């Protein structure tokens, strides 16, 4: 059996294989943040097609933590019944599902809220400056919101909680010296910058108990000057592991205008560029696959919990190699599943080679304005995208 098709386990949750659908925001919630039938069907399709474990796209734990239109909310009990139906349906298909919780911090693109942030630092990605640094009371409110949301996740029948501590959202903003300029107990030393993540974990653990899996996606370093260093990121992942975190998904990147954690054109050869009309890549070298593999392997060497590798896994051979050589316990794929929701079934039938996704990131550009989909599958969608670009809409 291929290594990726072997069963896996995270804190007692058995998965039918080692393939995770990485969190990918769906833009499929209604104006209240409640999931729609389209959201339900989107995830059900992945489960029917054999995905071992689904991480939902990020869900906001607090009204003030909303990132963008169409984001799913986990900020009140009203969300539970629809989520319960979803988890029942996923389980009936033999799948497992964790909800990803997040607080957007100063990266919020929701004009109706005043973003919460460690310090008054302009967000270089979306040019928004918070009016004031978060007060101690506001920080504890956010911590409690993570705990309350985790309790709802468990009540709704999910198999675990996944927490976003990367990519420039609130938890990574507190970790990073580039965005956290505080001089109180929440800023300054690494221990102080880690405090929000640690307290958030404790709040969630108290809400769900010791047996319910909690995972983190952790940004191990920033791509901006004076940001989090990789040594600090590694120390943070190790600390969370010691505290009892059940799994770490290794990532990187903070508040920078380019989506480095979702690198473009991964593994795209000349042949693939021609096949997919990527004229700008015909004479360019393919971008390297599995760009966080070394960090994942390093973390796994000393971790008690599971290690999940995300980022640019594009050939089935490489996915198998990652599991086979012990670089990670699970492989996690975001963009490949947008384009090929049946990828696991294909692998089961012997599919090899590169996945169809060419990592052009058009799907990412339309986050918050259109439901998640691959834009390269029809000429009409590509034309709509080109028109939106021309008008500066994306």
Residues that bind ligand SF4 (CB under 6 A): 335, 338-339, 357-363, 374-376
SS3 assignment, position 264: coil
Q: Which is nearer to ligand SF4, 97 or 333 (CB)?
A: 333
Q: In angstroms, what CA-CA distances link 17 with 13, 300, 332?
A: 12, 19, 11
312 sits near ligand FMN (criterion: CB under 6 A): yes
**How many residues does the structure list for the chain?**
394
CB of 36 to ligand SF4, least distance (A): 21
Which H or E run contains 102?
Answer: strand 96-102
CB of 297 to ligand SF4, least distance (A): 26
262 sits near ligand FMN (criterion: CB under 6 A): yes
234 binds, options ligand SF4, ligand FMN, none, Cβ within 5 to 8 A by partner type: none
Site residues for ligand FMN, 209-228, by CB under 6 A, read 217
312 binds, options ligand SF4, ligand FMN, none, Cβ within 5 to 8 A by partner type: ligand FMN
CB of 150 to ligand SF4, least distance (A): 30
Rounded Cα distance between 82 and 63, Å, is: 19
376 sits near ligand FMN (criterion: CB under 6 A): no
Which H or E run contains 335?
Answer: helix 335-339
Helical pair 230-243 and 190-208, crossing angle rounded to 10 deg: 30
339 binds, options ligand FMN, ligand SF4, none, Cβ within 5 to 8 A by partner type: ligand SF4
Candidates 23-31, 44-52, 207-215, 296-304; binding stretch for ligand FMN (CB under 6 A): 23-31
> Cβ(100)–Cβ(217) under 8 Å?
yes
> Cβ(131)–Cβ(139) under 8 Å?
no
- For residue 388, count other CB atoms closer than 10 A to its CB: 17
Q: Which is nearer to ligand FMN, 57 or 65 (CB)?
A: 57
Residue corresponding to tokens 């599971």? 306
Rounded Cα distance between 10 and 62, Å, is: 27
298 sits near ligand FMN (criterion: CB under 6 A): no
Q: Which is nearer to ligand FMN, 233 or 336 (CB)?
A: 336
Rounded Cα distance between 301 and 282, Å, is: 39
> Cβ(318)–Cβ(355) under 8 Å?
no
Q: Which is nearer to ligand FMN, 33 or 311 (CB)?
A: 311
Rounded Cα distance between 215 and 32, Å, is: 26
CB of 185 to ligand FMN, least distance (A): 27
CB of 184 to ligand FMN, least distance (A): 28
261 sits near ligand FMN (criterion: CB under 6 A): yes
153 sits near ligand FMN (criterion: CB under 6 A): no
Residues 6+ apart with CB under 8 A from 220: 228, 230, 233, 234, 236, 237, 250, 251, 252, 292, 295
Site residues for ligand FMN, 328-347, by CB under 6 A, read 333-336
367 binds, options ligand FMN, ligand SF4, none, Cβ within 5 to 8 A by partner type: ligand FMN
Rounded Cα distance between 58 and 217, Å, is: 11
Rounded Cα distance between 104 and 167, Å, is: 10
> Cβ(163)–Cβ(212) under 8 Å?
no
Q: Which is nearer to ligand FMN, 116 or 313 (CB)?
A: 313
252 sits near ligand FMN (criterion: CB under 6 A): no
23 sits near ligand FMN (criterion: CB under 6 A): yes
Among 110, 311, 319, 355, binds ligand FMN (CB under 6 A): 311
CB of 11 to ligand FMN, least distance (A): 19
Among 103, 164, 234, 272, binds ligand FMN (CB under 6 A): 164
Q: Which is nearer to ligand SF4, 79 or 362 (CB)?
A: 362
Residue 181 half-sphere exposure, CB side, CA atoms within 13 Å? 9
Token digits for 34? 């409640």
Residues that bind ligand FMN (CB under 6 A): 22-25, 57-58, 100, 164, 217, 251, 261-262, 310-313, 333-336, 363-364, 367
């Amino acid at each position: 059996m291929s290594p990726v098709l072997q069963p896996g386990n995270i804190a007692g949750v058995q998965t039918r294989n080692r393939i995770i659908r990485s969190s990918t925001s769906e833009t499929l919630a209604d104006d209240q943040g409640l999931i729609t039938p389209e959201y339900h069907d989107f995830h059900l399709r992945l489960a029917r097609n054999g995905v071992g474990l689904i991480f939902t796209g990020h869900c906001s734990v607090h009204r003030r933590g909303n990132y963008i239109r169409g984001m799913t909310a986990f900020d009140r009990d009203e969300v539970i019944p629809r989520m319960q139906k979803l988890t029942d349906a996923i389980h009936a298909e033999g799948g497992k599902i964790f909800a990803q919780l997040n607080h957007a911090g100063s990266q919020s693109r929701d004009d109706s809220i005043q973003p919460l942030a460690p310090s008054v630092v302009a967000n270089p990605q979306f040019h928004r400056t918070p009016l004031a640094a978060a007060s101690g009371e506001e920080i504890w409110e956010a911590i409690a919101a993570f705990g309350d949301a985790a309790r709802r996740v468990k009540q709704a029948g999910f198999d675990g909680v996944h927490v976003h501590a990367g990519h420039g959202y609130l938890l990574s903003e507190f970790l990073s010296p580039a965005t956290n300029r505080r001089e109180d107990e929440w800023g300054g030393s690494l221990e102080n910058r880690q405090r929000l993540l640690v307290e958030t974990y404790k709040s969630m653990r108290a809400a769900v108990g010791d047996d319910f899996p909690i995972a983190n996606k952790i940004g191990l370093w920033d791509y901006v000057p004076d940001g989090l260093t990789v040594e600090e990121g590694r120390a943070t992942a190790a600390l969370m592991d010691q505290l009892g975190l059940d799994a770490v998904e290794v990532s990187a990147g903070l508040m920078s205008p380019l989506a480095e954690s979702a690198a473009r054109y991964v593994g795209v050869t000349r042949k693939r560029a021609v096949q997919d009309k990527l004229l700008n890549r015909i004479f360019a070298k393919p971008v390297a696959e599995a760009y966080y593999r070394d960090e994942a392997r390093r973390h796994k060497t000393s971790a008690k919990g599971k290690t999940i590798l995300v980022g640019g896994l594009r050939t089935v051979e490489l996915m198998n190699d990652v599991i086979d050589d012990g670089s990670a316990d699970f492989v996690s794929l975001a963009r490949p599943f947008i384009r090929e929701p049946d990828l696991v079934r294909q692998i089961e039938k012997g599919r090899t080679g590169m996945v169809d996704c060419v990592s052009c990131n058009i799907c990412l550009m339309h986050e918050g304005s259109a439901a998640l989909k691959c834009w390269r599958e029809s000429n009409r969608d590509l034309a709509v995208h080109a028109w939106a670009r021309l008008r500066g809409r994306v």
